[in-house]
């Protein structure tokens, strides 16, 4: 287990820290850090950056992923727009969840509502080396939906 220092931003005071809701949970629940009595309405097709009132200090070699909550996505069509949103280890600002309402009715968020989940994960950085040729594979340059299908979609002659 990795230790992650957390700093509350003013409007996050009084809210519970993110927590794993079950022993086997991969994500910590993030809550909406709205003002007391304040509500945020996301109309169908609209997106909003929802504050969590938290900043974190991830160890080098880790990231935090802001992911949708499956219940919100299934029941209301509300999801994280840039899923997963990435929080880098050198970011010290407030974590926000960019939510989008893909449902057909407005969705209201209140202070303290669980709006997303945060997954802490290791990161591997790669060293890219330019080359003129890549090794051949059975799939080759087959793109979206092409695995196991002859003549899959390919975007341009140089697609990989």
Q: How confident is the model at residue 9 (pLDDT cuts 50, 70, 90)?
A: very high
- Residue 129 counted as domain residue: no
Q: Collapsing DSSP states into helix, strand and coil, what is residue 77? A: coil
The CATH number of whichever domain residue 32 belongs to comes to: 2.70.40.10
**Is residue 160's pLDDT more than 90?**
no
- Residue 151 counted as domain residue: no
DSSP string spanning 107-124?
A: EEEETT-EEEEEEEEE--
Annotated binding site for substrate: 69-71, 82, 86-88
- Residue 140 counted as domain residue: no
User: What whole-number distance in Å separates Cα of residue 43 and Cα of residue 53?
Assistant: 23
Annotated binding site: 69-71, 82, 86-88
- Residue 99 counted as domain residue: yes
Res 115: pLDDT: 98
Cα-Cα end-to-end distance for the chain: 37
- Residue 88 counted as domain residue: yes
- Residues of the domain holding 95: 6-122
Number of residues written out for the chain: 160
How many domains, in total, are found in the chain?
1
**Is residue 146's pLDDT more than 90?**
no
Q: How confident is the model at residue 144 (pLDDT cuts 50, 70, 90)?
A: confident
Q: Which residue has the tokens 């990161």?
A: 123
Tokens representing 14 are 């009084």
């Amino acid at each position: 287990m990795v230790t992650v220092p957390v700093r509350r931003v003013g409007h996050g005071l009084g809210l519970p820290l993110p927590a794993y809701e079950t022993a086997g949970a991969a994500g910590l629940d993030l809550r909406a850090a709205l003002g007391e009595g304040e509500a945020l309405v996301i109309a169908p097709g609209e997106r909003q950056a929802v504050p969590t009132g938290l900043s974190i200090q991830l160890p080098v070699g880790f990231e935090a992923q802001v992911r949708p909550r499956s219940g919100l996505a299934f029941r209301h069509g509300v999801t994280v727009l840039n899923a997963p949103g990435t929080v880098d280890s050198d970011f010290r600002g407030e974590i926000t969840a960019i939510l989008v309402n893909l449902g057909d009715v407005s969705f209201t968020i209140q202070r303290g509502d669980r709006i997303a989940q945060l997954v802490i994960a290791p990161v591997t950085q790669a060293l890219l080396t330019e080359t003129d040729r890549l090794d051949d594979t059975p799939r080759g340059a087959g793109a979206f939906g092409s695995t196991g299908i002859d003549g899959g979609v390919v975007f341009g002659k140089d697609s990989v």
